[in-house]
Amino acid sequence: MPDILIIPPTECVMLAPTAPGFAHGFGLFETMRYEAGRLYFWQDHWARLTRSARHFELKLPPEIAVQDALRELVTSSAIESGTLKLSLLKAASGTCLYVYARPPLPTPKGRRLQLDTTCPVFSRSLLAGHKTHNYMEAMHLLARARAQGYYDVLRTDEAGQIAETTTANFFFVKDGRLYTPSLVSGILPGVTRAALLRAPELAVVEGHVAPEVLLGVEAAFVTNASNGIEVMDGIDGLALGQTVDCIADCAELEAAKSVLVRAQEQCAHQLI
């Protein structure tokens, strides 16, 4: 069975510098929200990690062993709420699953997105649609956007269609309908995104989104497992220097928030 290594918040681990996980970023990860003894969307996270591990021929420990490791982490470290992570790294021989907690990240003041068409998501990449440790490009784009006061970068795919931000999936409301880019653009199949798409009452339209479609949107928000729904104030960098200002409250947005709250309760795994 692949190794499982639990890392308490006050401890560090050593990685062999020649191991593929360290030397080449050959690994996968999941970031999960934990509150009051429950893991939100555990089955979605585990299914995504399992699919990606199979795709890259990385062996995973049994699910029950991973749950036991997460339980030991939160109980031994007295973690009541926060972000838990799984990192499956390729070792010199086999794999190792690291189980640990991530401290809270600073929340940016800016709530606008910057459209960037210069560094597209490549939909045919072998890494497309997988949550891998090869995250340097995304983190560089995010740091550059944050330095300019933006919340994040809104990226396009190689065909020039709207894709995702560096850390989240993207949704917008226009003409009373809720839209999100399709997975064929190479975006990550986020668990929060999936929860919203499963809700028939939202009737989310999934498809190709040209940048000009964003002109005149009523509301925009991004989603990920850590933060849920984050509402944006606007989008800059559209054609001819145009910008879009978004409202913070509309029926479709409130409906999405309500759906997420219910889905979190319904899909929570009781860890302790």
Average per-residue pLDDT in the chain? 96
Q: Model-level pTM?
A: 0.96
> 217-229 pLDDT, tens per residue?
999 999 999 999 9
> 176-207 pLDDT, tens per residue?
999 999 999 999 999 999 999 999 999 999 99
CATH number of 112-263: 3.20.10.10
> 122-132 pLDDT, tens per residue?
999 999 999 99
Mean pLDDT of 127-151: 96
Order of all β-strands in the sheet with 244-245:
162-165, 152-157, 112-121, 234-236, 244-245
In the chain, pLDDT over 90 holds for what percent of residues?
A: 93
pLDDT of res. 18: 95
CA 45 to chain centre: 10
pLDDT of res. 248: 81
**For residue 106, pLDDT beyond 90:** no
Q: Residue written as tokens 């309908």? A: 177
Q: What are the extents of the domains in the chain?
A: 3-102, 112-263
Mean pLDDT of 6-12: 95
pLDDT of res. 160: 97
241 versus 73: the higher-pLDDT residue is 73
pLDDT of res. 70: 98
**Distance set, CA 244 to CA 169, 171, 172 (Å):** 18, 14, 12
**For residue 241, pLDDT beyond 80:** no
pLDDT of res. 239: 81
pLDDT of res. 121: 97
pLDDT of res. 1: 74
Structure tokens at 171: 């949704």
CATH of 3-102, one of 3.40.1120.10, 3.30.470.10, 3.40.1360.10, 2.40.50.140: 3.30.470.10
> 39-54 pLDDT, tens per residue?
999 999 999 999 999 9
Angle (nearest 5°) at CA 105 between 245 and 21? 115
